[in-house]
Amino acid sequence: MNSDHNHGDSSAFQQHYRCYPVSFIEKSHLEKGDKIIMPPSALDRLAYLQIEYPMLFELSNPSAGRVSHCGVLEFVADEGLVYIPYWMMENMLLQEGDIVHIKNASLSKGTYVKLQPHTTDFLGVSNPKAILETTLRNYSCLTTGDTIMVAYNNKKFYIDIVETKPSAAISIIETDCEVDFAPPLDFKEPEKPEKPSLSNKVPPEVDEEPAKKIPKFNPFSGSSRRLDGRPALQSPPSTFSPVPKQQHKEDTGGTNVLTSSASTSRRFSGKLVFGSNVENSSSGKQKAASKENNEDSVPKAEAKFQAFTGKKYSLKD
């Protein structure tokens, strides 16, 4: 049956054809675009109607209510037949030998298109926008709701046309079109069990920080020092308590040895001694001292061991 005939307005091209995949005429490379193969009579009719290039067409399947758009590559098909890329036949729910209605269309140039890959694998390829730009050079137009196929590295990636502007069908021939991507159909948001894992990690960090900082802030961690130059607190009871007892029991000669040894140790210790009345004197003068001086030295020795009993001196002088 020859289904090549005119319908409706005589100024428009409208025909019915039986459709088959482009692989039937060994033109499988056309699967990478939206170009169809039409019979020579279609070219004669288009020329008669003075349809200008680029020639764009609307394909429709009335039984399924599907509509798409395409361009034309050649007019070499058998009369009554048209060869269409198989991915377009799938979008329109067409089988081999089904009837498709074709009419010429005038589409505005596109300014925006939003695409949604079927799988996240497409976003994993290197520079997907460059690959898509190269692929779309084989396309004449895009229709909202269609699914196009992008072949790359021996793989086929299917992408849905989610939105087109300024209309539902646009021409992409010699035009700058903004491209946007929606999340892939198989995209899954990160699972939420990550939040409790973060809360579990926080307490150990809080517990460890004080343990590291406590030893750093211990005040007065050094050894103790006395202002009078004597040893630490443990030594005074043993060193000074026997001195007054021995001075009362022993003779004057013994007391002079004790006092002289105590004074010399304090004078040559390398520290400042506050409240000391000891003067640098030779050993001869100490031997010539009388018993009265020895008796007077006892209370003076006791006074020496009292902290801060001497006169006040200023370090600035």
114 plus 183 within the same structural domain: yes
Say which residue, 303 or 161, is predicted with more confidence: 161
Point out which residues pair with 57 in neighbouring strands: 70, 104
Point out which residues pair with 16 in neighbouring strands: 101
Q: Is residue 56 in some structural domain?
A: yes
Confidence at residue 49, expressed as pLDDT on a 0 to 100 scale:
93
130 plus 59 within the same structural domain: no
Query: Of the candidates 158, 188, 218, which is a domain's last residue?
Result: 188
Q: Is residue 3 in some structural domain?
A: yes
Number of independent structural domains in the chain: 3
Q: DSSP for 133-191? A: HHHHTT-SEEETT-EEEEEETTEEEEEEEEEEESSSEEE-TT---EEEEPPPTT--PPP
- 287: Cα separation from own chain's centroid: 89
259 plus 172 within the same structural domain: no
Q: Given pLDDT bands bounded at 50, 70 and 90, which one contains residue 235?
A: very low
Q: Is residue 144 in some structural domain?
A: yes
Q: What is the 3-state secondary structure (H, E, C) of 267-304?
A: HCCCCCCCCCCCCCCCHHHHHCCCHHHHHHHHHHHHHH
Domain encompassing residue 158: 109-188
Q: Beta strand pairing status for 178-181 and 112-117?
A: parallel
Confidence at residue 130, expressed as pLDDT on a 0 to 100 scale:
84
Q: Given pLDDT bands bounded at 50, 70 and 90, which one contains residue 186?
A: confident
Q: Is residue 226 in some structural domain?
A: no
- What CATH number did the domain enclosing 148 receive? 3.10.330.10
53 plus 65 within the same structural domain: yes
113 plus 72 within the same structural domain: no
Model pLDDT for residues 69-115, shown as the tens digit of each residue: 999 999 999 999 999 999 999 999 999 999 999 999 999 999 999 99
Q: Are 8 and 16 in contact (CB under 8 A)?
A: no
Q: Are 114 and 180 in contact (CB under 8 A)?
A: yes
| Residue that has been written with the tokens 């640098």 in this structure | 280
Beta strand spans in 38-166 (E): 56-61, 66-74, 81-84, 99-105, 112-117, 141-143, 147-152, 155-165
Q: Is the pLDDT of residue 135 over 50?
A: yes
Q: Which amino acid, one-letter code, is at 191?
A: E
Point out which residues pair with 159 in neighbouring strands: 117, 148
135 plus 81 within the same structural domain: no
Enter the pTM of the model: 0.57
Q: Is residue 228 in some structural domain?
A: no
Query: How far apart, in whole angstroms, are the C-alpha atoms of residue 138 and residue 31?
Result: 10
Q: Is residue 315 in some structural domain?
A: no
Q: Residue 14: CB partners within 8 Å, gap ≥ 6?
A: 6, 7, 8, 101, 102, 103, 104
Say which residue, 276 or 155, is predicted with more confidence: 155
Query: Of the candidates 106, 138, 170, which is a domain's last residue?
Result: 106
Average pLDDT of the chain is 74
122 plus 101 within the same structural domain: no
Whole-angstrom CA distances from 62 to 13, 153, 219, 268 are 17, 37, 91, 119
- What CATH number did the domain enclosing 49 receive? 2.40.40.50
Query: Of the candidates 76, 106, 136, which is a domain's last residue?
Result: 106
Task: For the chain, give the percent of residues with pLDDT over 70.
Answer: 57
